[in-house]
Amino acid sequence: MQLSGAQAMILALEQAGVTTLFGYPGAAIAPFYDALVDSNIRHVLTRNEQGAAHAASGYARARQVTGVCVVTSGPGATNVITGIATAYMDSIPLIIISGQVTTDLIGSDSFQEVDITGATSPFTKHNYLVKSARELPRIMKEAFHLAATGRPGPVLIDVPQDIQMEAFDYEEPGMVHLPGYRLVTEAQPEQLLTVKAQLEGARAPIICAGGGVLSSEATQELLQLAETCQIPVVTTMMGISAIPCDHPLYLGTLGSHGLFAANYALNQADLVMLIGARVGNRAMGSAQEIARRAQIVHIDIDPAEIGKNIKPHTAIVADAKSALTGLLALVPQTDTKEWVEKITTIKASHRLPDQPAGVSTTIYPPTLMRILGELAGPDALVTTEVGQNQIWVANHYPFCKPNTFITSGGMGTMGYGLPSSLGAKVACPERTVIAVSGDGSFQMSLQELGTVKQEKAAVKFVLLNNSRLGMVHEIQSIRYKRYSQVFLEENPDFEKLAAAYGLGYARIQSNDQIETAVRSMLDTPGPYLLECLVDPHEPTLYPVRKEEKG
């Protein structure tokens, strides 16, 4: 049969099981958009291309599928760059289809021409500039394979306008054949035997679980290993929700803004088992120092991660699920009783300061997070922006089920939370989706409230308004003792803004208002904005309350 390039792209999307696209049209991608009219694929029109990439990422994470976004050439393509880099850093499977100027104009600085494959090659898993419509079926199939297999990531396909229009005799693409792309997913038996011996020799082991545990769906195996071998677990920001937050062996998130017990355990451990974690500097600080004190086992699907930031004693290139399953089968016999007792005492004795007594004039974020979690229930999906809001959620929201936390970990991209919550709600309309925001970040993707309105996406926005770029304000107050460009005192009237976009709205400023307000937000159908006034001096780095007994 004869198809145009655009029709072949749509057929490939349908064959890959894609039901929803996020995007923004323009001349260079017009043939694709015209062909889309004849398809049942839903298209969500965002208000900026960056929003399309973030929404596709939220969709991918909520549904555990590959997200797809479509943009035009030039400014459409450059607008999507932050979204691509954000997905790359957090290993999110995305396909980005960009329109390109016609092939005869490429290289002539023609109208809306940009070298997007050149620009994105450092932060795409792979990208393509399509030279003939005939290549499209194969390229589309390869792109989906690359995005989702091994370590997931974004793949960009740049398609010149004339290639989208070119008619050709369509042939089903064959099996994906990529000789240079070798996937190692199984751990070697002798490597697992080494880890078993290391675990049995250790007296103070910990497991550090990263996002790879979630993407390989290894949370059950993680729990089983922790419980049967009695190993305390810490997570990176991307690993949050890999283990229920109330599990007695869970110590919290690592890092400069993580919890005391988690960092303490990392520094005292004699064996650190890194699983699906890339040892980022924000999570692990000085990784080499840790490696000097403890044996390091590093399990990761991406060989490029092994030895990059920490030199492991045992390296296993494998899928986290298969490695954990293999290890469990060897039934390691461990002796960690004293260590677990010590760590449990440390965890119990380092508490947050209590919520201020009486009627407060601002909201205490840890209390807000606890109540939100209790009332929204374990299945709710929670997105964050970046800043103090992200840290309060990471440390205090009670995540109980896997893949319920959607945040920008590696890039720390402000403006991610709002559009990713939209994508999550489109992916899972039956689930409660809460988008916790800071007033600065919220305004970076504010225009996507238009998409929320158009899609009738009932996202519950919880806006922590401290009239500040709070995280930077906190850093400046600690490190520089004076402030520079962190004041947002001329914020818009968020009540009027909510009305303009058809959102329900309430504002609270006292802790005794939280419960009623959250209930009412969750009970009100449709999207909702709950503005919570937060003290600009409220810290994320709380002085921990020590209750050490002897």
Ligand X SMILES: Cc1ncc(C[n+]2csc(CCOP(=O)(O)OP(=O)(O)O)c2C)c(N)n1
Q: Binding residues for Mg ion, per CB under 5 A?
A: 438-440, 466, 468, 470
The whole-angstrom separation of Cα 121 and Cα 196 is 39
Select the residue whose beta carbon is closest to ligand X and give its number: 438
By CB under 6 A, residue 421 contacts ligand X:
no
- Cβ closer to ligand X: 8 or 80? 80
Residue among 62, 376, 468, 511 that touches ligand X (CB under 6 A): 468
By CB under 6 A, residue 222 contacts ligand X:
no
Least separation in angstroms between residue 444's CB and ligand X is 6
Residue among 386, 434, 503, 514 that touches ligand X (CB under 6 A): 386
- Cβ closer to Mg ion: 196 or 468? 468
By CB under 6 A, residue 365 contacts ligand X:
no
DSSP bridge pairs for 127 = 156
Token pair belonging to 130 = 């399509």
- Cβ closer to ligand X: 243 or 534? 534
- Cβ closer to ligand X: 309 or 384? 384
Query: Looking at residue 277, what DSSP letter applies?
Result: -
By CB under 6 A, residue 413 contacts ligand X:
yes
Given Mg ion, ligand X, none, residue 213, with its beta carbon under 5 to 8 Å by kind, binds: none
By CB under 6 A, residue 50 contacts ligand X:
no
Given ligand X, Mg ion, none, residue 441, with its beta carbon under 5 to 8 Å by kind, binds: ligand X
Token pair belonging to 470 = 């709070």
Given Mg ion, ligand X, none, residue 205, with its beta carbon under 5 to 8 Å by kind, binds: none
Pick from 93, 409, 402: which is nearest to 217 by CA?
402
Q: Which residues, 6+ apart, have CB-to-CB distance to 72 below 8 Å?
A: 24, 25, 26, 27, 28, 29, 98, 99, 112
By CB under 6 A, residue 532 contacts ligand X:
no
Residue among 239, 255, 326, 438 that touches ligand X (CB under 6 A): 438
Pick from 43, 51, 38, 47: which is nearest to 18 by CA?
43
Place of tokens 């999307």: 13
Given Mg ion, ligand X, none, residue 413, with its beta carbon under 5 to 8 Å by kind, binds: ligand X
Q: What type of residue sits at position 182?
A: R
The whole-angstrom separation of Cα 420 and Cα 383 is 7
DSSP bridge pairs for 206 = 272
The whole-angstrom separation of Cα 385 and Cα 170 is 44
Query: Looking at residue 272, what DSSP letter applies?
Result: E
Residue among 271, 469, 503, 517 that touches ligand X (CB under 6 A): 469
**Counting beta carbons within 10 angstroms of the beta carbon of residue 211, is it exposed (0 to 12), middle (13 to 18) or buried (19 or more)?**
buried
Given Mg ion, ligand X, none, residue 412, with its beta carbon under 5 to 8 Å by kind, binds: ligand X
Residue among 129, 324, 414, 463 that touches ligand X (CB under 6 A): 414
Q: Given CA atoms 403, 405, 410, 415 in this order, what sign does their dihedral have?
A: positive
Least separation in angstroms between residue 196's CB and ligand X is 41
Given Mg ion, ligand X, none, residue 386, with its beta carbon under 5 to 8 Å by kind, binds: ligand X
Bridge-based pairing of strands 42-45 and 233-235 is: unpaired
The whole-angstrom separation of Cα 200 and Cα 210 is 23
Least separation in angstroms between residue 90's CB and ligand X is 14
- Cβ closer to ligand X: 166 or 439? 439
- Cβ closer to ligand X: 470 or 504? 470
Place of tokens 């919880």: 462
CB atoms within 10 A of CB 496: 10
**385 phi/psi in degrees, rounded to 5:** -90, -150
Given ligand X, Mg ion, none, residue 360, with its beta carbon under 5 to 8 Å by kind, binds: none
Token pair belonging to 218 = 């290894």
The whole-angstrom separation of Cα 61 and Cα 43 is 18
Residue among 166, 385, 455, 538 that touches ligand X (CB under 6 A): 385
Query: Looking at residue 356, what DSSP letter applies?
Result: P
Q: What angle do CA 542, 544, 545 make, to 5 degrees?
A: 130
Sole window of 11-19, 34-42, 463-471, 523-531 interacting with ligand X (rule: CB under 6 A): 463-471
Residue among 263, 389, 432, 445 that touches ligand X (CB under 6 A): 389
Least separation in angstroms between residue 385's CB and ligand X is 5
Order the strands of the 126-129 sheet from edge to edge.
Answer: 42-45, 20-23, 67-71, 94-100, 154-160, 126-129
- Cβ closer to ligand X: 35 or 464? 464
Least separation in angstroms between residue 520's CB and ligand X is 23
By CB under 6 A, residue 470 contacts ligand X:
yes
Given ligand X, Mg ion, none, residue 316, with its beta carbon under 5 to 8 Å by kind, binds: none
Token pair belonging to 196 = 């078993």
The whole-angstrom separation of Cα 167 and Cα 134 is 9
The whole-angstrom separation of Cα 25 and Cα 32 is 9
Given ligand X, Mg ion, none, residue 407, with its beta carbon under 5 to 8 Å by kind, binds: none
Binders of ligand X in range 471-500 (CB under 6 A): 471-472
By CB under 6 A, residue 410 contacts ligand X:
no
Least separation in angstroms between residue 333's CB and ligand X is 46
Sole window of 30-38, 372-380, 437-445, 450-458 interacting with ligand X (rule: CB under 6 A): 437-445
Least separation in angstroms between residue 388's CB and Mg ion is 7
Instruction: Provide the terminal-to-terminal Cα distance of the chain, rounded to the nearest Å.
Output: 80
Q: Which residues bind ligand X (CB under 6 A)?
A: 385-389, 412-415, 438-441, 464, 466, 468-472
